[in-house]
Structure 1
Amino acid sequence: MIAIVGPTACGKTALAAALAADIDAEIISADSRQVYKAMDIGTGKDLADYTVHGRQVPYHLIDIVQPGEKYNIFQYQHDFIKAYDDITSRGKNVVLCGGSGLYVESVIKAYHLASVPENKELRKRLEGRSLAELSAMLQQLKRQNGSVMHNITDVDSVQRAIRAIEIETFNGEHPTESAVIPSIDTLVIGVNIDREERRAKITHRLKARLDEGMVDEIRSLLARGISAADLIYYGLEYKYVTEYVIGKLTYDEMFRQLEIAIHQFAKRQMTWFRGMERRGTKIHWIEAAWPMETKIEEIKKLWH
């Protein structure tokens, strides 16, 4: 398997699709928000990228969950292995692509994870705590468990922090014994993008998505009966645009705060990938600025 990782706006999807078309592969997405149906613009699905030279490159684990539901890494591992087995049983290669570092690492390192039930008593105790307090509690639990899960990337709201504490508490009390993921030989490619270029692309892309109708997308999700709290839970675009739609932020406040949040998110993604390297994953870095043909040739040289 080849995994393509990197921060938001580095061109991962277009590269994964071009590579998959070249090596007769199918793509498995590793994105914690692109699993949701009808959440297209805000999650940046960029589905047009999956058409290469007029041919559709098959992709998996996008649009598989109803909006409003809570999808987790345990479900992702199960869905990943089903997709992986399906693709390889047909003699195709697999390209894993995404910016959710925890999802990528959970399958290439075969994390031992269990489905974690809701702990109502714990939730009651944590009610009313601030995000800063919850984050500090989470860091302490992670140290106790020796856990690499729940990078701050994934806990940018009180709800998410409480769920992360719930999971870490459960894992500390119930160590798991079996993984659902077999050991998969994986070449990991990181797409490195110049910091200023990344910042410019993020701002340009945010403006483009707002022009494409991101506000209307969120209005239509609310009109379908999905609560504002559920949308805010998904973070980033869904958090800030929902707060604008319900009147909590002005348009300018929403844009400024969301732009800053996406820049911070991209930095945290890079921190996660550097952490993966420290934890023993070899990442071969290539430059986002290289021509597509050069990137693909470089990856194929490393692959064979």
Structure 2
Amino acid sequence: MEESKKEKLVVLIGPTAVGKTKLSIELAKKLNAEIISGDSMQIYKGMDIGTAKITRDEMEGIPHHLIDIKEPNESFSVVEFQEVVRKLITEIHKRGKLPMIVGGTGLYIQSVIYDYQFTNEASDSDYRKLLEQQVAERGIETLFQELKEIDPNSAERIHPNNVRRVIRALEIFKTTGKTMTEYMEGQKHELLYDLVLIGLTMDRELLYDRINKRVDLMVETGLLDEVSAFYSRGLRNCQSIQAIGYKELYSYLDGKLSLDEAINDLKQNTRRYAKRQLTWFRNKMDVKWFDMSMENEFDEKFNEIYKYIAGKLEI
């Protein structure tokens, strides 16, 4: 595809609590953009405080997509994300707007912008049936443990109860000798869009301090009530409840931790997640980074980022 024929796309990434939401709204206003959430947990209805979901007021009239599209007991995969987002990008262009993906789930974003094929070419139906029979007889735990040993990256992304995806990851390993992660990374990294990929970063200690304060604010504004509502509905073995902020408070509600211990775990797990996000983005994607450490220089930083995008996309 010729460069000039590719659809224009802006992607704004960065770790949790770095300030993506505020910047994305200001950019969308100036760029006449619509925002697509690139967060794998903000898709769930009712998971508002724990995922730091943008509020209607914060949107300031900017259209947002892929927020509140799933019930908490439903699963959502990178394949589904890729399919939905690529359609959205085309639809937004047809409206004469610029699509902008904003979020922190690296693999999801990567699956959209590069020519990743989630095909069935690496398949072995006999082996798949064997694994399905094993699950029926003995449960998923043994298979998930096997996946953790051969492909810890996939095991971290896939919920232990998502039988189809656990089996698929093991099937890929059996047929190709590569883990699902290696299989994807071995594919062509051809960019499908006329892309501007920008990332926000921040001094590590300042970011961690912002994360800790954000968690305190979440607790003050009702996170425990939000999680308790899911808990009382009996939601447990589903993808959504594995989200940071929910699993820690479930441990408190189960009586395994005190509330203070659960909140400390939540802060620590969020800091670790932010560190993993930064590592992923730096290792896997060609990002133009902007440092947001000087919070009193937002306007200056915004102008710098806007000029960079406008220059790259020639708008």
TM-score of the pair, normalised by structure 1: 0.81
Q: Which residue of structure 2 lines up, in the alignment, with residue 120 of structure 1? A: 132
1:106-145 paired onto structure 2 within 5 Å? 106-114=111-119, 120-121=132-133, 123=135, 124=138, 127=141, 134-139=147-152
Q: 1:110 to 1:122 in 2, by over 3 A?
A: farther
Q: 1:48 to 1:197 in 2, by over 3 A?
A: farther
1:1-304 paired onto structure 2 within 5 Å? 1-47=9-55, 50-51=58-59, 55-114=60-119, 120-121=132-133, 123=135, 124=138, 127=141, 134-139=147-152, 150=154, 152=156, 154=157, 158-159=160-161, 165-172=166-173, 173=175, 183-223=192-232, 225-230=233-238, 233-276=241-284, 281-290=285-294, 291-303=297-309, 304=311
- SS of 1:221's partner is helix
Q: How many residues align?
A: 281
- SS of 2:116's partner is coil
- Report if the CA contact (8 A) 1:37-1:65 is conserved: yes
- Which structure 1 segments of 5+ residues have no match? 140-148
**Aligned partner letter, 1:183:** L
Q: 1:185 to 1:21 in 2, by over 3 A?
A: same
- SS of 2:245's partner is helix
Mean CA deviation greater in 182-191 or 26-35: 182-191
* Cα drift, residue 256 of structure 1: 1.6
Give the Cα separation in 1 of the matches to 2:143 and 2:86: 37
Q: 1:6 to 1:196 in 2, by over 3 A?
A: same
- Which structure 2 segments of 5+ residues have no match? 1-8, 177-182
Q: Which residue of structure 2 lines up, in the alignment, with residue 142 of structure 1? A: none
Q: Which residue of structure 1 lines up, in the alignment, with residue 180 of structure 2? A: none
Give the Cα separation in 1 of the matches to 2:171 and 2:23: 38
- SS of 1:243's partner is helix
- Report if the CA contact (8 A) 2:202-2:293 is conserved: yes
* Cα drift, residue 221 of structure 1: 1.9
* The structure with more radius of gyration: 2
| Percent of residue pairs identical | 31
Q: 1:122 to 1:109 in 2, by over 3 A?
A: farther
- Report if the CA contact (8 A) 1:34-1:43 is conserved: yes
* Cα drift, residue 294 of structure 1: 2.4
* Cα drift, residue 130 of structure 1: 8.3
* Cα drift, residue 114 of structure 1: 4.4
- Report if the CA contact (8 A) 2:44-2:240 is conserved: no
* Cα drift, residue 42 of structure 1: 1.0
Give the Cα separation in 2 of the matches to 1:36 and 1:70: 10
**Aligned partner letter, 2:132:** K
**Aligned partner letter, 1:296:** F
Give the Cα separation in 1 of the matches to 2:50 and 2:11: 23
Deviations 1:81-137, CA, capped at 9 Å, x for gaps: 222122111000111100000111111113111489995346447525886x64332
- Report if the CA contact (8 A) 1:14-1:49 is conserved: no
* Cα drift, residue 226 of structure 1: 4.1
**Aligned partner letter, 2:170:** T
Give the Cα separation in 1 of the matches to 2:192 and 2:239: 35
Give the Cα separation in 1 of the matches to 2:224 and 2:38: 25
- Report if the CA contact (8 A) 2:14-2:278 is conserved: yes
